[in-house]
């Protein structure tokens, strides 16, 4: 019987390249990305995964061509509507990570509605990283902690790893057991820098639009072969 990771994080890579290889506009790959996310959410939960976090739009993605960014934002607006219906159907609890202040007001409103509507759902905990960067998250957390110190609410000597963890966007969410990155890229691209300290990494050449239940199973099978020591020495 397989040991199912409690929390899986995924970097959804290769969408534009997938489309380009098929002679299609890059934005078509992002349309397919949304469909794959919906499939994997359902399949992961069926397999016993409790938390799923996807890297949807990074703080660096604003540097992409304007037409691609605009297309991504349009898709995001549409996805917020779809996600609410999916969450109602599957009792999914949705949370958005990242600096929401950098998003348009209508998107922030939809995020707020989505989070409030699903907060008590007892199905898959689904986190979407939007306008997210690991360094930015740590900077924002540090500023919040510094403000507490300044106001006399916290002594510098009381700052611990737990205090920092509880100041991050992922407050209350267990750290990922497994990180999956598609399209053979072997870097973390500023994703969950604090949280991935002891996470197992799995890289696949498959582009995200082609990622399936079978590919998810392969990733979990590989995870089951890992020896998670957390810095300790295993006794013979």
Count Cα neighbours of 204 within 13 Å in the Cβ-side half-sphere: 25
Q: 75, 107 in Cβ contact below 8 A?
A: no
Q: Is 104 a catalytic residue?
A: no
- 3-state SS record for the chain: CCCCCCEEEEECCCHHHHHHHCCCCHHHHHHHHHHHHHHHHHHHHHHCCCEEEEEEEEHHHHHCCHHHHHHHHHHHHHHHHHHHHHHHHHCCEEEEECCHHHCCHHHHHHHHHHHHHHCCCCCCEEEEEEEECHHHHHHHHHHHHHHHHHCCCCCHHHCCHHHHHCCCCCCCCCCCCEEEECCCCCCCCCCCCCCCCCCEEEECCCCHHHCCHHHHHHHHHHHHCCCCCCCCCCCC
Any catalytic annotation for residue 78? Answer: no
Q: Check 3, 13, 121, 184 and give the catalytic one.
A: 13
- Burial group, residue 181, by CB count within 10 angstroms (0-12, 13-18, 19+): buried
Query: Is 170 in contact with 195 (CB distance < 8 Å)?
Result: yes
Catalytic residue among 61, 121, 190, 224: 61
**Could you give the residue numbers annotated as active site?**
13, 61
């Amino acid at each position: 019987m397989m040991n199912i990771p409690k929390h899986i994080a995924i970097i959804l890579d290769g969408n534009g390249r997938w489309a380009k290889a098929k002679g299609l506009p890059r934005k078509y790959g992002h349309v397919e990305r949304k469909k794959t996310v919906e499939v994997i959410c359902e399949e992961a939960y069926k397999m016993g995964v409790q938390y799923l976090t996807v890297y949807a739009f990074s703080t660096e993605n604003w540097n992409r061509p304007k037409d691609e960014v605009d297309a991504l934002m349009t898709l995001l607006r549409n996805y917020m509507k779809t996600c609410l219906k999916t969450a109602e159907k599957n009792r999914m609890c949705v949370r958005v990570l990242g600096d929401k202040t950098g998003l348009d007001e209508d998107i922030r409103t939809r995020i707020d509605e989505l989070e409030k509507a699903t907060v008590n759902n007892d199905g898959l905990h689904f986190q979407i990283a939007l306008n997210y960067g690991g360094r930015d998250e740590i900077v924002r957390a540090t500023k919040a902690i510094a403000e507490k110190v300044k106001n006399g609410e916290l002594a510098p000597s009381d700052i611990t790893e737990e205090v920092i963890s509880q100041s991050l966007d992922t407050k209350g969410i267990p750290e990922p057991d497994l990180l999956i990155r598609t399209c053979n890229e072997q870097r973390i691209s500023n994703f969950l820098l604090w949280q991935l300290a002891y996470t197992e990494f799995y890289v696949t050449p498959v582009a995200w639009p082609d990622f399936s239940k079978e590919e998810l199973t392969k990733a979990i099978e590989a995870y089951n072969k890992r020896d998670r020591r957390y810095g300790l020495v295993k006794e013979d």
